Amino acid sequence: MVVYDLICNAEHRFEGWFPSFEGYREQAEKGLISCPSCGSTQVEKLPHACAVHVKKEAAASRPETSADPPPPSLSESDVKELLVRMNQFVRENFENVGPRFATEARAIYHGEKEEKPIYGSATQDERRELDEEGVPYGILPKPKLDS
Ligand SMILES: [Zn+2]
């Protein structure tokens, strides 16, 4: 499963879940991807927000005294490795609540449950409900693993 940030020709940003990059490309070529806001099928893929964030941090952590030439920008495999590590960190330190994620996140947000780091899955409808209620959560980008 891969998640892509998409943008339509009216500049609505949204997220698309696809089985793979090939799956995305196939759907895009057939005009099967449409914007949830305006229904436009003129949709493009944005570079993933997470990759941009990662790049900034990696650059900032370089010692300033280093006389080395400026670090090259992250390659695709660097980004993939960071995503893998991020996923590992979450799996090791967060409680997996699986498909109950939306329910648990809401309970924690409303103080009905003790605050703890959790992760799990949420449907698009559930995520929209969380957005509407203002419950904060993050999307963990899944690295695309070579099989
Ligand atoms: Zn749109």
Above 70 in pLDDT, residue 63?
no
Q: How far, in Å, from the CA of 43 to the mean position of ligand 1?
A: 8
pLDDT digits (tens, 9 = 90+) for 123-135: 889 899 988 988 8
Q: For the residues 114-141, what does the mean pLDDT come to?
A: 85
Q: How far, in Å, from the CA of 46 to the mean position of ligand 1?
A: 14
DSSP class of residue 143?
Answer: P
Q: How far, in Å, from the CA of 6 to the mean position of ligand 1?
A: 10
Q: How far, in Å, from the CA of 10 to the mean position of ligand 1?
A: 5
pLDDT at 41: 93
pLDDT digits (tens, 9 = 90+) for 88-106: 888 888 888 888 989 988 9
Nearest in space to 142 (alpha carbons), one of 26, 74, 50: 50
pLDDT at 49: 47
Can you list the alpha helix ranges (DSSP code H) found in 9-123? Answer: 21-29, 49-60, 76-93, 101-109
